[in-house]
Structure 1
Amino acid sequence: MTSSPRYYLGILPHLLNPIDLDYEWFGVLWLEEDNRFPIIVGYWFTKEESEITHNVIQTGVSKWTPVSDHQIVIRMYESIRNQQKKQDWETRTRLSIRTIFSSPWNEVSSGLYIIKSRDTYPLHASAILKKKFFIWLEHAAVCETEGDLHAFMNRVSEEHQMETLMKKGSPTVK
């Protein structure tokens, strides 16, 4: 006989939203069935704590057990972020053909470039490969510190066997 699933909700303030690059409320809803590993049902980043419970109700779940153990919620957050980091690293995308004719890409030579989304941390970093007729997004990462950015650059360098990646005058995205 199987028991009905038990839903749990953990909420913490000031965790990094990797899309908006803001530190916001983070909420995660998960269930556990028959003493198996937890299954994450949904997660949210919001400006207000109350928005999270509203989002949970929108999923159709009306009853849950609140979890206030900081470590459990952090482990859920880290699990989600690790999956996102893996996907950001492995997903390779060819950019629109029009990109090669627009600034700054029409002004730079073929090669591998690291682009930062902004000058302040946290930021998005991207490894862009320009070829003669195509531009590829090779890798991406969310960097919270300068150390994260250097780790990303080193990983790109190792993956693509490059000695130096950034040159003076590298393209910038505005």
Structure 2
Amino acid sequence: MLNPIDLHYEWFGVLWLEEENHFPIIVGYWFSKERSEITQDAILSGFSTWTEIGDHSMIMRMYQSIRNKQKKQDWEKRTRLSLRTIFNSPWNEVSPGLYLIKSRDTYPLHVSAILKKKFWVWLEHTAVCETKEELQAFMQRVHEEHQMEISMKNTKPKFL
């Protein structure tokens, strides 16, 4: 599965509780380069017993549930960046407006919608895009919500 933080496809493990007539409750999840590390991570998190399930469709549902919550949070969480940001490159060199910044040119990638105002810089939205179509959908959603002209910058987000 795609680890949305470091953008690598890795082993994914999820631990959940099941109760009758209720949707499973996810209590922990981990990504790792090796399958055995998932078990170690679960033990280090304080879990000692579980029943291992290899049902791909069940694990995919859990993964999708987690990713959907993360996507919602990425879209809704606005953050005003440090006051110093406005004095640093590239924000001291660009006009106020809405900018989309990609973390890299290859997929998967992170993309951020940054709103520069006269005295402030806001991180409006972020997303993990695995395909060009997902990036285009993010751009369209940003445009619909903000009704502003968008400028694309291909740069590493070292200033965020």
Of the three residues 86, 93, 98, the one matched with 2:84 is 98
Q: In 1, distance between residues paired with 2:72 and 2:137? A: 14
TM-score (norm 1): 0.86
Name the counterpart of 2:137.
151
Of the three residues 148, 151, 154, the one matched with 1:166 is 151
TM-score (norm 2): 0.93
Identity %: 72
- Alignment pair present for 1:54 and 2:40: yes
Name the counterpart of 1:5.
none
Task: Show CA shifts across 1:42-101 (max 9, x none).
Answer: 000111100100111123222211111100000000000000000000000000111111
Residues 84-123 of structure 1: matches in 2 within 5 Å? 84-123=70-109
Which letter does structure 1 place at the counterpart of 2:150?
L
Deviation of 1:125 (Å):
0.3
Q: Is the 8 A contact 1:127 1:140 kept in 2?
A: yes
Aligned length: 157
Q: Is the 8 A contact 2:114 2:122 kept in 1?
A: yes
Name the counterpart of 1:131.
117
Higher relative contact order (CA 8 A, sep 6+): 2
Give unmatched runs, 5+ long, in structure 1. Answer: 1-14
The Cα RMSD (Å) is 1.4
Q: In 2, distance between residues paired with 1:91 and 1:85? A: 10
Regions of 4+ moved over 3 Å: 170-174
Deviation of 1:138 (Å):
0.3
Query: Which structure has the larger Rg?
Result: 1
Q: Is the 8 A contact 1:108 1:171 kept in 2?
A: no
Q: In 1, distance between residues paired with 2:136 and 2:22? A: 38
Give unmatched runs, 5+ long, in structure 2. Answer: none
Q: Is the 8 A contact 2:104 2:155 kept in 1?
A: no
Deviation of 1:171 (Å):
7.1
Of the three residues 4, 7, 12, the one matched with 1:26 is 12
Q: In 2, distance between residues paired with 1:153 and 1:51? A: 37
Deviation of 1:33 (Å):
2.6
Q: In 2, distance between residues paired with 1:44 and 1:115? A: 28
